[in-house]
Structure 1
Amino acid sequence: MDWRRLCADGGEPDSTPRLESGDGSHHPGPPRFVTVDEGIVDPTGNEMEARDDLAPWNPDGDATYDWTVLDSPADSTATPTDGPVAEFEPDVPGEYTLALEAPDGTHELAVRAFPEPDDDAPRPQVELDATVADGRVHLSATASVVGDGNPDIEFYVDDRNEDVLEADGTIPVSAIDEPTRVYAVAVDERHSVPDAVELVPDGEGTEATVSVVHPFEPPEWAVNSVVYEIFTRRFPDRDDPTFETIADRLDHLERLGIDVLWLTPFLEAESGFGTPMEFGGPHGYNTTDYYSVDPDLGTMADLEALVDACHDRGIRVVFDLVINHTADTHPFYEAAVDETHPDHDRYRDWYRWEDFDERDADTYFGWDGIPNLNYGNPEVRAYLLEVVDFWADKVDGFRADVAWGVPLSFWTEVYDRVGGSDSEFFLLDETLPSDTEMGGGRFHMHHDDVLHDTLEQLGESFADGRADDSRTSDGTDDPADEATATEEDAVADEFTDSAAGLDTTTADAILEAVENRQRRGSHPDSQWLLYVENHDTDRYLAEHGRAAQLAAGAVTFTLPGSPMLYYGQETGVTGRRDPMNWDAFDEELLEHYERLIDLRKTDPALQAGAELERIPYDVDTDAAVAFARRDPESGRRLVVALHFGAGTATVEIDEPVVETDLLTGSNVGDGVDGQRSLSVETVVVLESDGSH
């Protein structure tokens, strides 16, 4: 593929380690689990809805591929669409076997189609495990669903392996001569996201056994991480914003106790330095070269030095992977729209079109400057897998921008590809509203948009007065503020209403938001990114005031999930993409977040494995809530009370607690006979008496 001459640095990718997906063949991946009403389709449009397709893995853009149906339920007439990347809409519930004719042979793919579901019904969850005894692998799966359902469980062996599962539900160890993936799906009124185990052979002859691997588990380092997102071109020194000056500021992150640094895009892009705020500022989400860093930030060596400096401090680095679209000034797009370009015929099919004759590219939200790439073209997929290979070698993980716009099949291949090479590699998706299909073999962590939208609505309800956001964080007037609202509010407005259906008139909606994960059927291994604000939202402090921001921040550090800070959230920045206020920190705000981070990192009752418990409580305002967290291993239990409003709330609980706030060291309660009346300004965290 001679794409390199269209890159700024054509030689760079030659040094990239080439990864393989699956066994290196064109087999299209694991079995597919769908419903007859949704199928496997990749429509134009459908903003913020996940899409899917059938595609060969490790694709060759010059090869020929063909899809057919080998077996299907009686009365089905469904067939895949023509082309190397196909769509398929099952018309009858049941099991289908599809065949992919590829240069390396015929590959079979199982598709299990379930009946059209009741979308209001809760989705079940399933956890699959296996043990090895008496020369056999014994599968064990646990299914659950909110309410009174009783899910069945179905097992499937990956089509790339022989049919080794016997009628009694066991697998002979002797039948496993290569890594073998087994899937379980729970079926009630809806079907679950599948879970899987991988059986890895070990030893030979009478010594043969297998190891059981859980391939959907996240890297251990990510589970209890505290994440920090920076707007890359606005975080370093105002007068000299480079990779080097970002590295100079890492002491701040180390003091805070940050585990993961998420860098917004730093590649060559249309929106580099100098981009006016009416166009979003220097955001970098419209790439012009996937292999070159923005020279205004520095060199590739400077970036690698920044990553090394982070690693020296125990901080992992996540790269913002933007592969749903390019800039309309990317050389590929310029070739696509210019009929006189020597590569026009080739690159025209690299993009999706509403109307090619009018040069009307498929875009989202009317963002004409970022045309969507065409994943129906194997050459595009091959190119973007090379991009994945290149950057996976340089960072610790990807945050996938507009993940919902890229077919699920591609993310499944990426997960297999980078995970097969490095089990420590981390994947975070941006899918808003969050889609449970992104879990279980596609991404480890998801933006918790339901909790975020709940926090936004609580802020609107209980704000203590909005800050004057017509001023920047350094106190100067922002002449671009009015223009910024046009572009940026359009972004934020698209990412709302995720909390629809929850009662957000009282603060206990935050508990409903967390419990909603189970009702939606998220994968049991899925982790959740908890955030108050990010680069697509207004600053919570500016919108909802200080008390609400302090409480909302505390929510993200005391509920189950991985808390994230957006740069300046902890220091008082009020403009969503303002420069970091290095010489004007709000020290009281900073101290609040330092205490939260320290307690979250040191107390197991606030970490990922700790259970969330509802407790009885009485409050004098709807702006307050109380709950408990319990570490099942140690039995340690904490009670947390939060208040979003101004002033002080009184929260009464019916259990004994140590009345010293673990965050501040102050006494916050009084009471007798097991009842406690707590005075809560924003947050208190108390040890349950006797929970040592």
Structure 2
Amino acid sequence: MTWNSDLERRDRRIVTDGGTPDHETEFVSGDGSHHPGPPRFVTVGDGIVNPNGREMETRDDLAPWNPNGDEAYEWYLVDSPEGSTAEPTDEPIAEFEPDVPGVYTLALEAPDGTHRLTVRAFPEADDDAPRPRIELDAVLEDDRIVLSPTATCVGDEPSVEYYVDDRDADVLESDGTIPIDAVDEPVRIYAVAVAERRSVPDAIELVPDEETGSVRVEHPFEPPAWVPNSIVYEIFTRRFPDQDEPTFETIADRLDHLERLGVGVLWLTPFLEAESGFGTPMAGGGPHGYNTRDYFTVDPDLGTMADFEALVDACHDRGIRVVFDLVINHTADTHPFYEAAVDDSHPEHERYRDWYRWEEFEARDPDTYFGWDGIPNLDYGNPEVREYLLSVVDFWAERVDGIRADVAWGVPLTFWTEVHDRVTSADGEFFLLDETLPSDVEMGGGRFHMHHDDVLHDTLERLGERFGSAESTAAAATGETDVAEAVPVDDETTDTPADDEEDAVADEFVDRAAHLDTSTADAVLDALEDRDRRGPHPDSEWLLYVENHDTDRYLSEYGREAQRAAAAATFTLPGSPMCYYGQETGVRGRREPMNWGAFDEPLLAYYERLFEIRREEPALQTDASLGRIDYESETDAMVAFARLAPEEDRRVVVAIHFGDGSATVAVEESVGETDLLTGESVVDSAAGDIVVDSVVVLESESVDD
């Protein structure tokens, strides 16, 4: 379709800055049809709905793939369990609330034919009950493919159900096997583990192999191989470069710092043309860019599209991948589509009014999250909106290595399922990271590869509150700990928000560590175990962070020593560590300029060691297991645990101390005396205890987990 002529100046994907066609890669969802995607797995009582007015809940719907806003779509029920009266709603993008457990068959009438979709509804369950997990595989035995699931659950032994993708021929026989010669086209099989609750589904794809005459088993939900052990570095794009000339070019000039650290992924906060560009005062959040005015144009104050692409090339030259912060839950209220929507005299008023959700249209009161002004929510119930935003994804997926989805919970799950299929089919190395607060395990398994670990983050904040020290912060500010003086900034950049903005965005959300006992540092281990109770997809990766652009600086809030300990937790626990710009150099303001020329050098040296040991020690990498160990310490601010990399026959013991000064810990296993982080002996020769300032990592002689 074509966009309105007087708006395409801003938001059309056909032309880049240089006037050349935008894409070489063809992005298509599924087989290119309007089929609505894989089978759906839901719970009675939750359903497939848009929870308007319930801001913390994930959105969902039934939607055609490869939508065309000019075409008509209709949903209807084909089959349902006995006793059900459930029907899909009468819209092209529909809602459906199963009222009886069982299997439903829905049909989508689309311009390219009729498509059927299976919806499996499970019984209502206690949301606090442990959720099972399933990992599906298959083995080839003679002339058959035998499904081989691994299903686990805390407490219960789950059963397993299998479903063949509705787009594929049903080759699964009653004994749970598949004849190899029946697979003449790719077939996707889904498995769900069922205990008191259902699992996030897993899937395998069976692909005919012409060279061998057999079948390959592929795992479509696995992240790219480069993802799990990459260290992520987030920059606040307009505050990171040289502040005399903050541009893409001066960001590129600063990449040597990231290369020295060993950063694998650079996450750039939004850099498109936005309402909150340069000059936005801290009372308005600073120049954050999260209210987009043009999805296809970079902020001209940062440079041109060619300058941005040169920055990406410079990152790639250093082995750093680039992640784009995708903001498609909402636009700025100065976006031309919204301006048309609220202007009765605009020739496209009627069209664009339907692109947004409204509390009360006549009052021009848009639906927003948490009453945040200026960012009206887009309406994903409009096929035209989805078509347009898929074009936004396509445009940027060709220019970057991954996407971090802002406010991912506000965009329906079906859209993210389509995005995952669309971009990973075109580029198997493409990376997807979601922001869902509170984190939702439904975002895994064919939607996103990695999720913000909000439970660990909130646990670290609680430990900072308990064990951190205001004196540490004061000492840092006066230079008593060899900290360089903070970079002076003018009124426009000073990180002192107005009263109505003083809480960071993350403070709007539930404390995800509230159910944990955070009276001791053992809480970090409880937070990791809480992941298993929530039942994420086995291939889901977790982003471990101390702070980000939506939180206050840990150093300012809890002091230097607590910050070092919290960072050590993110670099030594299972997951992918993230460093927010300036965290490693002593920046104290949430969105202050990077303190180039005034680094806290001792702090930086500490972080350099964390980066190095995380990159080089196999027992600290993502696939290494975590184990509790017996230990004794005089302080509750201490935690000790083990990490094991069985392939390398390598085990280490980690001890982290969140309190001021040093403390000792005794562990009940044989460990070396030399801290792998510093190369120094950390054992008290008299008592035999381990002396810990912030963290020590010791080689263990035991490889038993």
Structure 2 length-normalised TM: 0.95
**SS of aligned partner of 2:386:** helix
What's the offset of the Cα at 1:252?
Answer: 0.3
What's the offset of the Cα at 1:496?
Answer: 4.4
**SS of aligned partner of 1:108:** strand
Aligned to 1:3: 3
Aligned to 2:37: 29
What is the RMSD computed on CA atoms of the aligned residues? 1.7
Alpha-carbon distance in structure 2 between the residues aligned to 1:303 and 1:252: 19
Aligned to 1:165: 172
Alpha-carbon distance in structure 2 between the residues aligned to 1:668 and 1:481: 39
Aligned to 2:487: 474
Aligned to 1:279: 284
Aligned residue runs from structure 1 range 638-649, under 5 A: 638-649=652-663
**SS of aligned partner of 1:281:** coil
Aligned to 1:688: 700
Aligned residue runs from structure 1 range 503-652, under 5 A: 503-652=517-666
What's the offset of the Cα at 1:666?
Answer: 1.4
Identify which range, 132-141 or 389-398, moves more after superposition. 132-141
What's the offset of the Cα at 1:691?
Answer: 5.4
What's the offset of the Cα at 1:613?
Answer: 0.6
Aligned residue runs from structure 1 range 400-411, under 5 A: 400-411=405-416
2:15 aligned partner, one-letter code: E
Aligned residue runs from structure 1 range 58-457, under 5 A: 58-147=66-155, 149-203=156-210, 208-457=213-462
Deviations 1:334-372 (A, max 9, x none): 000001000001000000001101111000011120000
1:98 aligned partner, one-letter code: L
**SS of aligned partner of 2:42:** strand
**SS of aligned partner of 1:320:** strand
What's the offset of the Cα at 1:164?
Answer: 1.1
Aligned to 2:481: none
**SS of aligned partner of 2:354:** helix
Deviations 1:197-254 (A, max 9, x none): 00111228xx631110000100010110100000000000010000000000000000
Alpha-carbon distance in structure 1 between the residues aligned to 2:364 and 2:90: 25
Sort the Cα spacing of 1:437 and 1:488 in 2 relative to 1 into closer, same or farther, 3 A: farther
Alpha-carbon distance in structure 2 between the residues aligned to 1:489 and 1:210: 55
Q: Contact 2:504 / 2:550 at 8 angstroms: preserved in 1? A: no
Give aligned pairs, total: 687
Alpha-carbon distance in structure 2 between the residues aligned to 1:398 and 1:483: 29
2:329 aligned partner, one-letter code: N
What's the offset of the Cα at 1:689?
Answer: 2.9
Deviations 1:538-578 (A, max 9, x none): 00000000000000000000000000000000000000000
Sort the Cα spacing of 1:477 and 1:504 in 2 relative to 1 into closer, same or farther, 3 A: farther
- The share of aligned pairs that are identical, in percent, is 71
What's the offset of the Cα at 1:3?
Answer: 2.0
Aligned to 2:482: none
Alpha-carbon distance in structure 2 between the residues aligned to 1:618 and 1:475: 45
User: Given the alignment of the two structures, is residue 669 of structure 1 paired with residue 669 of structure 2, yes or no?
Assistant: no
2:88 aligned partner, one-letter code: P
Alpha-carbon distance in structure 2 between the residues aligned to 1:346 and 1:690: 67
2:180 aligned partner, one-letter code: V
What's the offset of the Cα at 1:654?
Answer: 1.2
Deviations 1:109-144 (A, max 9, x none): 000000001112100000100112322211011110
Identify which range, 454-463 or 10-19, moves more after superposition. 10-19
Deviations 1:411-449 (A, max 9, x none): 000000001101100000000111000000000000000
**SS of aligned partner of 1:223:** coil
Alpha-carbon distance in structure 2 between the residues aligned to 1:624 and 1:12: 57
Q: Contact 1:280 / 1:484 at 8 angstroms: preserved in 2? A: no
Q: Which runs of 5+ in 2 are unaligned?
A: 479-484
Alpha-carbon distance in structure 1 between the residues aligned to 2:367 and 2:554: 33
Sort the Cα spacing of 1:676 and 1:198 in 2 relative to 1 into closer, same or farther, 3 A: farther
**SS of aligned partner of 1:99:** strand
Alpha-carbon distance in structure 1 between the residues aligned to 2:126 and 2:688: 44
Aligned residue runs from structure 1 range 43-58, under 5 A: 43-58=51-66
**SS of aligned partner of 1:301:** helix
Q: Contact 2:4 / 2:348 at 8 angstroms: preserved in 1? A: no
Q: Which runs of 5+ in 1 are unaligned?
A: none
Q: Contact 2:146 / 2:178 at 8 angstroms: preserved in 1? A: yes
**SS of aligned partner of 1:415:** helix
2:700 aligned partner, one-letter code: S
Deviations 1:267-315 (A, max 9, x none): 0000000001100000000000000000000000000000000000000
**SS of aligned partner of 2:81:** coil
Identify which range, 240-249 or 171-180, moves more after superposition. 171-180
Deviations 1:475-530 (A, max 9, x none): 56868554345315151311340112110111010001011111000111000000
Alpha-carbon distance in structure 1 between the residues aligned to 2:605 and 2:423: 38
Q: Contact 1:322 / 1:402 at 8 angstroms: preserved in 2? A: yes
Sort the Cα spacing of 1:666 and 1:475 in 2 relative to 1 into closer, same or farther, 3 A: farther
Q: Contact 2:504 / 2:551 at 8 angstroms: preserved in 1? A: no
What's the offset of the Cα at 1:473?
Answer: 3.3
Alpha-carbon distance in structure 2 between the residues aligned to 1:375 and 1:545: 44
**SS of aligned partner of 2:568:** helix
Alpha-carbon distance in structure 2 between the residues aligned to 1:268 and 1:108: 41
Q: Contact 1:658 / 1:687 at 8 angstroms: preserved in 2? A: yes
Q: Contact 2:646 / 2:703 at 8 angstroms: preserved in 1? A: no
Alpha-carbon distance in structure 2 between the residues aligned to 1:125 and 1:690: 29
Sort the Cα spacing of 1:444 and 1:227 in 2 relative to 1 into closer, same or farther, 3 A: same
What's the offset of the Cα at 1:374?
Answer: 0.3
What's the offset of the Cα at 1:175?
Answer: 1.8
Deviations 1:117-176 (A, max 9, x none): 1112100000100112322211011110112x0100000000000111100101112222
1:460 aligned partner, one-letter code: E
Q: Contact 1:453 / 1:496 at 8 angstroms: preserved in 2? A: no
**SS of aligned partner of 1:254:** helix
Alpha-carbon distance in structure 2 between the residues aligned to 1:232 and 1:491: 18
Q: Contact 1:609 / 1:632 at 8 angstroms: preserved in 2? A: no
Q: Contact 1:658 / 1:686 at 8 angstroms: preserved in 2? A: yes
Identify which range, 2-11 or 599-608, moves more after superposition. 2-11
What's the offset of the Cα at 1:670?
Answer: 3.8
Aligned to 2:669: 655
Identify which range, 472-481 or 272-281, moves more after superposition. 472-481
Sort the Cα spacing of 1:505 and 1:236 in 2 relative to 1 into closer, same or farther, 3 A: same
Sort the Cα spacing of 1:478 and 1:658 in 2 relative to 1 into closer, same or farther, 3 A: farther
2:299 aligned partner, one-letter code: D
What's the offset of the Cα at 1:624?
Answer: 0.7
1:413 aligned partner, one-letter code: E
Alpha-carbon distance in structure 2 between the residues aligned to 1:491 and 1:286: 14
Alpha-carbon distance in structure 1 between the residues aligned to 2:702 and 2:34: 59
Sort the Cα spacing of 1:151 and 1:70 in 2 relative to 1 into closer, same or farther, 3 A: same
**SS of aligned partner of 1:261:** strand
Alpha-carbon distance in structure 2 between the residues aligned to 1:546 and 1:505: 20
